[in-house]
């Protein structure tokens, strides 16, 4: 009975955060902000469902399931990489070096580090 309530709470909370994450993609109004919603809210969204699944395995099937820990681990490692790649695509296609803060002595961000931007970044110096 108690485990039923716990499983329900975990799954409902997980589903709720998943829904908010998807809603965020619709509601936020610029491409970079839109990326915040899925990368963050879905970690708790998926996490809630996985914790519910672990409690279910212990209380109904009578064994400890560790697959959920692995899924969480893989999710935590891959989510920042995906977000980083999407951000790089955005920077590459829709920004110029002068739209972003200057990175100290380096002058250019890694995505902008290509020949057509060299002249633009050297001009203010000369």
What single DSSP character describes residue 114?
Answer: S
By CB under 8 A, the residues from 45 to 64 that bind another protein are none
By CB under 8 A, the residues from 63 to 102 that bind another protein are 65-67, 69-70, 76-77, 79-81, 83-84, 87-88, 90-91, 100-102
Residue of the chain from 7, 10, 37, 50 that contacts another protein (CB under 8 A): 37
What single DSSP character describes residue 125?
Answer: T
Q: Which is nearer to another protein, 4 or 19 (CB)?
A: 19
Q: Which is nearer to another protein, 7 or 18 (CB)?
A: 18
Instruction: Let me know if 10 is exposed, middle or buried by CB neighbors in 10 A (0-12, 13-18, 19+).
Output: buried
CA dist 14 → 34, 42, 66, 83 (Å) = 20, 8, 19, 21
Q: At a CB cut-off of 8 Å and minimum separation 6, what does 6 contact? A: 52, 55
Residue numbers at the binding site for another protein (CB under 8 A) = 17, 20-21, 23-24, 27-30, 32-33, 35-37, 39-41, 43-44, 65-67, 69-70, 76-77, 79-81, 83-84, 87-88, 90-91, 100-113
């Amino acid at each position: 009975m108690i485990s039923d309530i716990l499983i329900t709470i975990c799954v409902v909370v997980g589903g709720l955060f998943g829904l908010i994450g998807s809603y965020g993609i619709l509601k936020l109004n610029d491409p970079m902000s839109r990326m915040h919603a899925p990368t963050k809210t879905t970690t708790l969204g998926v996490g809630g469902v996985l914790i519910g699944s672990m409690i279910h395995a212990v209380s109904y099937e009578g064994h400890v399931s560790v697959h959920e820990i692995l899924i969480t681990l893989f999710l935590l490692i891959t989510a920042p990489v995906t977000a980083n790649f999407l951000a790089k695509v955005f920077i590459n296609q829709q920004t110029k070096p002068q739209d972003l803060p200057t990175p100290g002595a380096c002058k250019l961000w890694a995505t902008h580090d290509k020949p057509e931007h060299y002249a633009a970044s050297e001009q203010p110096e000369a």
